[in-house]
């Protein structure tokens, strides 16, 4: 069965993000029900689970968009669970949105500059926008409007908006949804490249094949709780995971 030791030991100095027993309640619904997660610097951690499992809500709680009902979130050693999303972003933790949000009439340059303004004055933000565009392979498209972009380029821009904030960690929420396999491969390559530049990732993705290849470690969430955590190859062999998430038709190669 899956080794519970896949999680870093407590007190590990390399831990960038540490969520302890995080719960989020919406009225009577426990959308997140006591989830703990430690993420080391430089890791790519995948988060999977069925629709409505609480993955997005967990991301909202980590990034300040929703205040946890209980539990603690620490980032780079600081308690962040009472901070605003802007303050958390300035500390270096940022997220993308499951529904891509851009202003169709803004250019790539304007969109990335606006994102960089969270931490920089205008002139520096403009420079950061060009740097972010280069990092997500959009340098040639800086002056196109968002509505002129192909879907894969819109996804790259969504990641670029996060990169422009100068993050240490990015939370990616289903950024590859709707892409063809070859396009998803491009985004996998891009995420790996950004990790090579020192950015740590936590990634929610439904495409099993993608999350398996991309992640160093996978966390499975079901009905607001952590069901399993471990190396990708171990997690998919856990009968409980197969039952709640993958379905009986899932066959291991
Ligand atoms: N703002 C909200 N108010 C009330 N209930 C909410 C709110 N946001 C989410 N929920 C509920 O919380 C639960 C978890 O939703 P969440 O969006 O976090 O799931 P998810 O794992 O991201 O699902 P998906 O894979 O479909 O994106 C669901 O039952 C959802 O309906
Ligand atoms: Mg979601």
SS (H, E, C) 75-133: ECCEECCCCCHHHHHHHCEEECCCCCCCCCCCEHHHHHHHHHCCCCCHHHHHHHHHHHH
- In terms of domains, do 29 and 143 share one? no
The alpha carbon of 50 and the centre of ligand 1 are apart by a number of angstroms equal to 11
Q: Above 50 in pLDDT, residue 4? A: no
DSSP per residue, 43-82: -EEEEE--TTSSHHHHHHHHHTSS--SEEEEEETTEE-TT
- Cβ pair 84, 240 in contact under 8 A: no
The rounded distance, in Å, linking the Cα atoms of 115 and 210 is 27
Q: Is residue 182 part of a domain?
A: yes
Nearest CA owner, ligand 1 atom 11: 31
- In terms of domains, do 160 and 178 share one? no
pLDDT the model gives residue 123: 96
- Cβ pair 157, 129 in contact under 8 A: no
- Cβ pair 93, 103 in contact under 8 A: no
pLDDT, tens only, 104-155: 899 999 999 999 998 999 999 999 999 999 999 999 999 999 999 999 999 9
- In terms of domains, do 72 and 108 share one? no
pLDDT the model gives residue 144: 97
Q: Is residue 11 part of a domain?
A: yes
Tell which residue, 96, 112, 99, 101, has the closest CA to residue 172.
96
Q: 152: domain range?
A: 93-166
Nearest CA owner, ligand 1 atom 29: 52
- In terms of domains, do 86 and 114 share one? no
Please tell me whether residue 191 adopts helix, strand or coil conformation: helix
The alpha carbon of 120 and the centre of ligand 2 are apart by a number of angstroms equal to 30
Mark the residues whose beta carbon lies below 5 A from ion ligand 2. Answer: 55-56
Report residues whose beta carbon is within 6 angstroms of any ligand 1 atom.
26, 29, 31, 49, 51-57, 98
Report the nearest atom of ligand 1 relative to the CA of 24. 12
| Token digits of residue 37 | 């997660």
The alpha carbon of 241 and the centre of ligand 1 are apart by a number of angstroms equal to 20
- In terms of domains, do 24 and 131 share one? no
> What is the CA angle 148-152-156, rounded to 5?
90
> What is the CA angle 15-229-158, rounded to 5?
65
pLDDT the model gives residue 219: 96
- In terms of domains, do 154 and 173 share one? no
Nearest CA owner, ligand 1 atom 28: 52
Q: Above 50 in pLDDT, residue 51? A: yes
Q: Is residue 131 part of a domain?
A: yes
Distance in Å from the first CA to the final CA of the chain: 18
pLDDT the model gives residue 198: 96
Q: How many domains does the chain have?
A: 2
Q: Above 50 in pLDDT, residue 1? A: no
- In terms of domains, do 12 and 87 share one? yes
Q: Above 70 in pLDDT, residue 3? A: no
The alpha carbon of 79 and the centre of ligand 1 are apart by a number of angstroms equal to 24
pTM of the model: 0.91
- In terms of domains, do 141 and 172 share one? no
Residue ending a domain, choose from 109, 135, 166: 166
pLDDT the model gives residue 104: 86
User: Residue 1 carries which DSSP code?
Assistant: -
- In terms of domains, do 5 and 108 share one? no
The rounded distance, in Å, linking the Cα atoms of 8 and 20 is 13
The alpha carbon of 181 and the centre of ligand 2 are apart by a number of angstroms equal to 20
* Chain centre distance of CA 3: 24
Q: Above 50 in pLDDT, residue 209? A: yes
pLDDT, tens only, 59-106: 999 999 999 999 999 999 999 999 999 999 999 999 987 666 678 899
Q: Above 60 in pLDDT, residue 253? A: no
Nearest CA owner, ligand 1 atom 10: 31
pLDDT the model gives residue 240: 82
The alpha carbon of 167 and the centre of ligand 1 are apart by a number of angstroms equal to 26
The rounded distance, in Å, linking the Cα atoms of 171 and 174 is 10
- In terms of domains, do 87 and 172 share one? yes
- Cβ pair 224, 35 in contact under 8 A: yes
Residue ending a domain, choose from 133, 166, 199: 166
**Parallel, antiparallel, or unpaired for β 217-222 and 225-230?**
antiparallel
Least confident piece of the model among 10-19, 90-99, 128-137, 240-249 = 240-249
Mutate to test the pocket of ligand 1, among 22, 24, 25, 31 (most ligand atoms within 8 A of CB): 31
Q: Is residue 52 part of a domain?
A: yes
pLDDT, tens only, 141-192: 999 999 999 999 999 999 999 999 999 999 999 999 999 999 999 999 999 9
Residue ending a domain, choose from 146, 166, 186: 166
CA dihedral defined by 162, 163, 166, 172, rounded to 10 degrees?
Answer: 50
């Amino acid at each position: 069965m899956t080794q519970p030791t896949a999680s870093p030991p407590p007190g590990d100095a390399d831990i960038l993000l540490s969520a302890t027993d995080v719960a989020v309640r919406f009225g009577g619904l426990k959308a997140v029900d006591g989830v703990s997660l430690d993420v080391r610097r430089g890791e790519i951690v995948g988060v999977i689970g069925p629709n409505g499992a609480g993955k997005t809500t967990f991301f909202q709680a980590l990034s300040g968009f929703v205040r946890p009902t209980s539990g603690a979130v620490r980032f780079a050693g600081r308690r962040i669970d009472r901070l605003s999303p802007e303050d958390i972003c300035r500390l270096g933790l940022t997220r993308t949105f499951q529904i891509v949000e851009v202003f169709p009439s803004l250019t790539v340059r304007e969109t990335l500059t606006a994102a960089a303004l969270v931490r920089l004055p205008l002139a520096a933000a403009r420079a950061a926008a060009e740097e972010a565009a280069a990092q997500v392979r959009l340098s040639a498209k800086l002056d196109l409007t968002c509505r002129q972009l192909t879907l894969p380029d819109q996804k790259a821009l969504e990641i670029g908006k996060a990169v422009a904030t100068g993050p240490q960690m990015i939370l990616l929420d289903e950024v590859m949804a709707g892409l063809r396999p070859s396009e998803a491969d491009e985004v996998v390559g891009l995420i790996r490249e950004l990790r090579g530049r020192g950015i740590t990732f936590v990634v929610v993705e439904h495409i099993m094949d993608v999350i398996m290849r991309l992640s160093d470690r996978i966390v499975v969430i079901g009905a607001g709780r952590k069901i399993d955590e471990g190396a990708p190859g171990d997690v998919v062999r856990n009968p409980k995971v197969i039952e709640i998430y993958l379905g009986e038709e899932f066959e291991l190669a």
